[in-house]
């Protein structure tokens, strides 16, 4: 069975949306294999977001991700990598479709970084790399 890394970002934890997001993952039929509340440090985020280093939103993104705890979840299921990204919706909450986590609940207006509530790995290679980073 395929596995992915889901993160509930600090905005989701602060807005008490952890339960709502877990509910959507479970309702879809995916399994929660492991879960932890993490205060991420700069080293972890630099490794996680290595592909974005140097982009204009990189530093605000890292600051945002350090602004509070993150819920890291190991999620398993058939085609869960693609499936969770469908549940999450487009990166930009304004254009994310209604029915998705970001479309229904995400905010971006007036913020340096899209506070789009969740992260999901985008490929089997990313999932393996990211699960190793967050679950060791």
The residues annotated as belonging to the active site are 119
86 interacts with ligand ATP by CB under 6 A? no
Nearer to ligand ATP, 77 or 120 (CB): 120
Q: Which two tokens stand for residue 66?
A: 């350090």
Nearer to ligand ATP, 74 or 119 (CB): 119
Whether 24 has a binding-site annotation, put simply, is no
Look at residues 82, 135, 108 and name the one whose alpha carbon lies nearest to residue 11. Answer: 108
Q: Which two tokens stand for residue 58?
A: 């990189």
Q: Which residues pair with 27 in a beta bridge?
A: none
Q: Which residues pair with 4 in a beta bridge?
A: 75
100 interacts with ligand ATP by CB under 6 A? no
Whether 57 has a binding-site annotation, put simply, is yes
Q: Say how far apart CA 19 and CA 62 lie, in whole Å.
A: 24
Single out the residue of 37, 47, 57, 123 in contact with ligand ATP (rule: CB under 6 A): 57
Q: Which residues bind ligand ATP (CB under 6 A)?
A: 57, 61, 91, 113-114, 116, 119-120, 122
């Amino acid at each position: 069975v395929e596995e992915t890394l889901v993160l509930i970002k600090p905005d989701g934890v602060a807005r008490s949306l952890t339960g709502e997001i877990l509910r959507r993952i479970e309702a879809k039929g995916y399994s929660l294999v492991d879960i932890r509340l993490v205060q991420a440090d700069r080293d972890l985020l630099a490794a996680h977001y290595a592909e974005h280093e140097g982009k204009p939103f990189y530093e605000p993104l890292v600051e945002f991700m350090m602004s509070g705890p993150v819920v890291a979840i190991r999620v398993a299921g058939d085609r869960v990598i693609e499936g969770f990204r469908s549940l999450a919706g487009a990166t930009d909450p304004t254009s994310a479709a209604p029915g998705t986590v970001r479309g229904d609940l995400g905010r971006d207006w007036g913020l340096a970084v899209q506070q789009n509530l969740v992260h999901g790995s985008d490929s089997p290679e990313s999932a393996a790399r990211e699960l190793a980073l967050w679950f060791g």
